[in-house]
Amino acid sequence: MNILGLSYMYHDSAACLLRDGEIAAAAAEERFVRIKHSVDFPIRAIRYCLEAGGLAVRDLDAMVFYEKPFLKFERILQTHIAAFPRSRKSFRAFLPMWLSHKLCVPQTIRETTGFAGPVYFADHHYAHAASAFLPSPFERAMVLTMDGTGEWSTLACGVGQGRDLRLDKELRFPHSLGLLYSAVTAHLGFKVNGGEARSWAWPRTASRRSPPSSRSSSACARTAASSST
Ligand SMILES: [Fe+2]
């Protein structure tokens, strides 16, 4: 069975080809377009994976997107409604983009690649957990995922055994260690969804170099909130 996993429209667009349960190829779009953290549809990464795996699009049994857009849309919509009218400007920016692109993943995949088979959607934290546990050398392990946001989860915990994976504990938005990390990153003057590694490394190099600039705490909170979309 040949399955192609995809991520795009957020940060670090990428593709990964699984052939009979084994990773045959994986690539980030930024390597081909030379744009760091590219969010574009990963057509070049897809081409690379298929070529490396010796397959054509018609040989794929399924494509899988890395999260569930409608659940994420629900979360963002509820967040904007709860913050109305302060969220009015952000709402006007996000709604057209979601309606025209982010809720149209299967159509985009079919139109761009010509794929006619099924398109599935993985729960975001299951995607993270599977990418860590399934290729690991462990038969049984506790699995912990932490990020800014997924659909509603921001942290998930469970157990992996063999080919099974179960996440039964979660922390839900707006509580998020990842968003706190992003807020600190923005406060240090680095870009959210890309600069986090720099904010991690910065204390080690602080004696030699200062961050680009500091921001006010309100600016940093806004930046972290916008990163959750
Ligand atoms: Fe994530």
* Domain assignments of the chain as residue spans, ordered by start: 2-68+101-121, 69-95, 124-172, 177-227
Residue among 20, 65, 26 nearest 48 (CA): 26
H helical segments located in the chain: 30-33, 43-53, 69-83, 88-97, 105-113, 124-133, 177-187, 196-205, 217-227
Q: Residue 1 C-alpha to ligand 1 middle, in angstroms?
A: 26
Q: Residue 208 C-alpha to ligand 1 middle, in angstroms?
A: 32
Greatest distance between any 2 Cα atoms in the chain: 55
CB contact at 8 A, 42 and 6: yes
Q: Residue 130 C-alpha to ligand 1 middle, in angstroms?
A: 12
- pTM for the full model? 0.83
DSSP for 11-50, written as a single string: SS-EEEEEETTEEEEEEETHHHH--TT--S--HHHHHHHH
Q: Residue 157 C-alpha to ligand 1 middle, in angstroms?
A: 14
Q: Residue 131 C-alpha to ligand 1 middle, in angstroms?
A: 11
Q: Residue 65 C-alpha to ligand 1 middle, in angstroms?
A: 13
Low-confidence ranges of the chain (pLDDT < 70): 206-229
Alpha carbon distance 101, 20 (integer Å): 31
Residue 222 is predicted with a pLDDT of 47
| 139: DSSP letter | S
Is 2-68+101-121 in CATH node 3.50.50.60? no
Q: Residue 94 C-alpha to ligand 1 middle, in angstroms?
A: 19
Amino acid at 23: I
Residue 211 is predicted with a pLDDT of 56
